Amino acid sequence: MSDATDDLSWRVERTCHKAWPSFREEVIGDWVLRFAAGHSRRANSVNPMRAVGGDIGALIDAAEARYAAEHLPTIFRIPTLLPADIEAQLGARGYLPEGETITLHGDLHPMPMRRDPDVIIDRQPTDIWLAAMSDLQGHNAVRRQSYRAILARLDVPTAFLMFRG
């Protein structure tokens, strides 16, 4: 990757980090440990803050201890921006890849904006939107409250969409 692409990718990583906040974070070196009562992998995982390499054995040990103390599984979020040796070190410790995601980004300005009357757009999650998301994701009452708390912590421009149909 070029330096410009790498810089843009890390800016996107930071934005995604803000777009799904945790309740609490702890920093260990170039990594941030995120805690959100087990609500989602992204909000309850170890995440790099920049391109890192080298031996991460001490990080793995510290993260496992911290997540065990919270009664949570230790999950490492490894974007493709990191050197391959990071995944190899995790694999040697028994970690397996799962829950893969892809982040897409692009310039929205040249796109024509046509409003579909069947799509409702709100700046804040409504009770109807929250109930629908909870039902779709099979949340119990505790998970619903955690979800609401995460959404309340959002510090980036947001839109919540629902299809009326």
Asked if residues 48 and 82 have their Cβ atoms less than 8 Å apart, the reply is: yes
Asked if residues 45 and 77 have their Cβ atoms less than 8 Å apart, the reply is: yes
**pLDDT (tens digit per residue) in 78-126:** 998 888 899 999 999 999 998 888 888 777 777 777 889 999 999 999 9
Q: pLDDT at position 2, please?
A: 64
What pTM was estimated for this model as a whole? 0.81
In angstroms, what CA-CA distances link 107 with 5, 18, 157? 14, 19, 16
Tokens of 42: 């992204």
